[in-house]
Structure 1
Amino acid sequence: NNCYMWDQSAKCLNVRDDVELWHKRLGHMNVRHLTDLVNKEIVRGVPKLIGCDKLVCGPCNQGKQIRVQHKKVPDVQSESVLDLVHMDLLGPMQVESIGRKRYVFVLVDDYSRYTWV
Protein backbone atom coordinates (compact mmCIF):
# COMPACT_ATOMS: atom_id res chain seq x y z
CA ASN A 1 0.00 0.00 0.00
CA ASN A 2 3.08 2.29 -0.47
CA CYS A 3 3.35 3.11 3.24
CA TYR A 4 6.78 3.20 4.81
CA MET A 5 8.49 4.44 7.93
CA TRP A 6 10.83 7.36 7.48
CA ASP A 7 14.13 6.97 9.26
CA GLN A 8 15.56 10.36 10.31
CA SER A 9 18.98 8.95 11.00
CA ALA A 10 19.45 7.86 7.37
CA LYS A 11 21.39 10.35 5.29
CA CYS A 12 20.40 11.36 1.81
CA LEU A 13 22.83 10.01 -0.76
CA ASN A 14 22.07 12.79 -3.25
CA VAL A 15 23.59 15.52 -1.08
CA ARG A 16 27.23 16.15 -1.87
CA ASP A 17 29.62 18.90 -0.92
CA ASP A 18 31.73 19.48 -3.98
CA VAL A 19 34.17 22.18 -4.89
CA GLU A 20 31.91 23.91 -7.41
CA LEU A 21 29.05 24.24 -4.92
CA TRP A 22 31.25 25.79 -2.22
CA HIS A 23 32.95 27.99 -4.83
CA LYS A 24 29.51 29.43 -5.70
CA ARG A 25 28.34 29.62 -2.08
CA LEU A 26 31.37 31.69 -1.13
CA GLY A 27 30.90 34.23 -3.92
CA HIS A 28 33.10 32.60 -6.60
CA MET A 29 36.13 32.65 -4.34
CA ASN A 30 39.56 32.00 -5.84
CA VAL A 31 40.46 28.27 -5.69
CA ARG A 32 43.71 28.96 -3.83
CA HIS A 33 41.86 30.96 -1.18
CA LEU A 34 39.17 28.26 -0.99
CA THR A 35 41.76 25.56 -0.28
CA ASP A 36 43.44 27.79 2.34
CA LEU A 37 40.06 28.36 3.96
CA VAL A 38 39.43 24.60 4.15
CA ASN A 39 42.95 23.60 5.24
CA LYS A 40 43.17 26.24 7.99
CA GLU A 41 39.56 25.52 9.08
CA ILE A 42 38.65 29.21 9.04
CA VAL A 43 34.94 28.56 8.37
CA ARG A 44 32.94 25.95 10.24
CA GLY A 45 31.00 23.39 8.24
CA VAL A 46 33.08 23.41 5.08
CA PRO A 47 34.17 19.82 4.43
CA LYS A 48 37.51 18.73 2.98
CA LEU A 49 37.17 19.40 -0.73
CA ILE A 50 38.64 17.12 -3.36
CA GLY A 51 39.35 18.23 -6.92
CA CYS A 52 40.01 21.92 -6.37
CA ASP A 53 42.56 21.91 -9.17
CA LYS A 54 39.94 20.72 -11.68
CA LEU A 55 37.43 23.53 -11.04
CA VAL A 56 36.14 25.22 -14.20
CA CYS A 57 33.59 27.96 -13.51
CA GLY A 58 31.82 29.51 -16.51
CA PRO A 59 30.89 32.86 -14.90
CA CYS A 60 34.44 33.26 -13.52
CA ASN A 61 35.97 32.58 -16.93
CA GLN A 62 33.62 35.08 -18.59
CA GLY A 63 34.54 37.70 -15.99
CA LYS A 64 38.24 37.25 -16.74
CA GLN A 65 37.84 37.64 -20.50
CA ILE A 66 38.89 40.90 -22.06
CA ARG A 67 37.86 42.51 -25.29
CA VAL A 68 40.17 43.74 -27.99
CA GLN A 69 40.34 47.52 -28.08
CA HIS A 70 38.79 49.35 -30.99
CA LYS A 71 41.04 51.01 -33.52
CA LYS A 72 41.88 54.58 -32.60
CA VAL A 73 39.67 56.95 -34.60
CA PRO A 74 40.78 60.52 -35.22
CA ASP A 75 38.78 63.15 -33.32
CA VAL A 76 37.65 64.84 -36.52
CA GLN A 77 36.63 62.51 -39.34
CA SER A 78 35.46 65.17 -41.78
CA GLU A 79 37.41 67.72 -43.83
CA SER A 80 34.99 70.66 -43.81
CA VAL A 81 31.96 72.09 -42.01
CA LEU A 82 28.72 70.10 -42.49
CA ASP A 83 30.63 67.33 -44.27
CA LEU A 84 29.53 64.89 -41.53
CA VAL A 85 26.65 65.55 -39.13
CA HIS A 86 25.76 63.32 -36.17
CA MET A 87 22.06 63.20 -35.21
CA ASP A 88 20.16 61.86 -32.23
CA LEU A 89 16.47 61.86 -31.30
CA LEU A 90 15.70 61.52 -27.60
CA GLY A 91 12.27 60.94 -26.12
CA PRO A 92 9.56 60.80 -25.12
CA MET A 93 10.71 62.51 -21.94
CA GLN A 94 8.70 62.26 -18.71
CA VAL A 95 9.01 65.99 -18.04
CA GLU A 96 7.85 68.42 -20.73
CA SER A 97 9.98 71.38 -21.78
CA ILE A 98 8.84 75.00 -21.44
CA GLY A 99 7.33 74.75 -24.94
CA ARG A 100 5.46 71.54 -23.86
CA LYS A 101 7.72 69.34 -26.00
CA ARG A 102 8.63 65.77 -25.02
CA TYR A 103 11.25 65.01 -27.71
CA VAL A 104 14.74 66.44 -28.24
CA PHE A 105 16.49 66.37 -31.63
CA VAL A 106 20.26 66.98 -31.48
CA LEU A 107 22.58 67.71 -34.43
CA VAL A 108 26.37 67.90 -34.02
CA ASP A 109 28.71 68.98 -36.80
CA ASP A 110 31.75 66.69 -36.75
CA TYR A 111 34.27 69.26 -38.01
CA SER A 112 33.32 72.32 -35.91
CA ARG A 113 31.49 70.48 -33.08
CA TYR A 114 28.72 73.06 -33.41
CA THR A 115 25.53 71.70 -31.82
CA TRP A 116 21.87 72.36 -32.64
CA VAL A 117 19.13 71.25 -30.21
Structure 2
Amino acid sequence: MVMASTLSHLNFDTINDLARNDLVAGLLKFKYHKEHLCLSCEQGKSKRASHPPNPVPNSRQRLHLLHMDLCGPMRIASINGKR
Protein backbone atom coordinates (compact mmCIF):
# COMPACT_ATOMS: atom_id res chain seq x y z
CA MET A 1 0.00 0.00 0.00
CA VAL A 2 1.69 3.18 -1.19
CA MET A 3 -0.49 5.38 1.01
CA ALA A 4 0.87 3.75 4.20
CA SER A 5 4.40 4.92 3.50
CA THR A 6 3.10 8.38 2.54
CA LEU A 7 1.22 8.63 5.85
CA SER A 8 4.20 7.34 7.89
CA HIS A 9 2.61 3.91 8.41
CA LEU A 10 -0.27 5.15 10.58
CA ASN A 11 -2.71 2.66 12.03
CA PHE A 12 -5.89 1.93 10.07
CA ASP A 13 -8.27 3.72 12.46
CA THR A 14 -6.37 6.97 11.96
CA ILE A 15 -6.19 6.50 8.18
CA ASN A 16 -9.95 5.82 8.10
CA ASP A 17 -10.60 8.99 10.17
CA LEU A 18 -8.46 11.02 7.76
CA ALA A 19 -10.30 9.59 4.74
CA ARG A 20 -13.76 10.03 6.29
CA ASN A 21 -13.16 13.65 7.31
CA ASP A 22 -11.40 14.47 4.00
CA LEU A 23 -8.31 15.79 5.82
CA VAL A 24 -5.69 14.50 3.34
CA ALA A 25 -5.70 15.57 -0.29
CA GLY A 26 -5.66 12.59 -2.65
CA LEU A 27 -6.62 9.99 -0.04
CA LEU A 28 -9.24 7.71 -1.56
CA LYS A 29 -12.51 7.52 0.37
CA PHE A 30 -12.96 3.88 1.17
CA LYS A 31 -12.56 1.82 4.33
CA TYR A 32 -8.98 0.68 4.81
CA HIS A 33 -8.63 -2.82 6.26
CA LYS A 34 -5.72 -4.82 7.63
CA GLU A 35 -5.60 -6.83 4.39
CA HIS A 36 -4.02 -3.78 2.74
CA LEU A 37 -0.76 -3.99 4.73
CA CYS A 38 2.48 -2.99 3.05
CA LEU A 39 5.57 -5.11 3.64
CA SER A 40 7.02 -2.72 6.25
CA CYS A 41 3.76 -2.63 8.24
CA GLU A 42 3.48 -6.42 8.05
CA GLN A 43 6.98 -6.89 9.42
CA GLY A 44 6.41 -4.29 12.13
CA LYS A 45 3.24 -5.96 13.35
CA SER A 46 4.64 -9.50 13.27
CA LYS A 47 5.50 -11.29 16.50
CA ARG A 48 8.52 -13.47 17.14
CA ALA A 49 8.04 -16.93 18.49
CA SER A 50 9.11 -17.22 22.10
CA HIS A 51 11.94 -19.48 23.17
CA PRO A 52 10.85 -22.91 24.33
CA PRO A 53 11.09 -23.24 28.10
CA ASN A 54 14.12 -25.10 29.41
CA PRO A 55 13.13 -28.19 31.32
CA VAL A 56 13.93 -27.78 35.00
CA PRO A 57 15.12 -31.00 36.59
CA ASN A 58 12.52 -32.15 39.06
CA SER A 59 14.52 -33.98 41.70
CA ARG A 60 12.39 -35.24 44.52
CA GLN A 61 14.73 -38.07 45.46
CA ARG A 62 17.38 -37.61 48.10
CA LEU A 63 20.88 -36.88 46.68
CA HIS A 64 19.52 -36.91 43.14
CA LEU A 65 20.84 -33.41 42.40
CA LEU A 66 24.14 -32.44 43.99
CA HIS A 67 25.98 -29.11 43.90
CA MET A 68 29.65 -29.27 44.78
CA ASP A 69 32.77 -27.14 44.63
CA LEU A 70 35.31 -28.65 42.25
CA CYS A 71 38.24 -26.26 42.69
CA GLY A 72 39.16 -26.20 46.34
CA PRO A 73 41.10 -25.91 48.60
CA MET A 74 42.78 -22.84 47.14
CA ARG A 75 46.52 -22.22 47.51
CA ILE A 76 46.11 -18.51 48.16
CA ALA A 77 44.09 -17.38 51.16
CA SER A 78 41.15 -15.04 50.63
CA ILE A 79 40.63 -11.70 52.38
CA ASN A 80 39.12 -13.51 55.38
CA GLY A 81 42.04 -15.94 55.50
CA LYS A 82 39.97 -18.86 54.24
CA ARG A 83 41.32 -21.33 51.72
TM-score (structure 2 length as normaliser): 0.49
More helix by share: 2
Greater relative contact order (CA < 8 Å, ≥ 6 in sequence):
2
TM-score, scaled relative to structure 1: 0.38
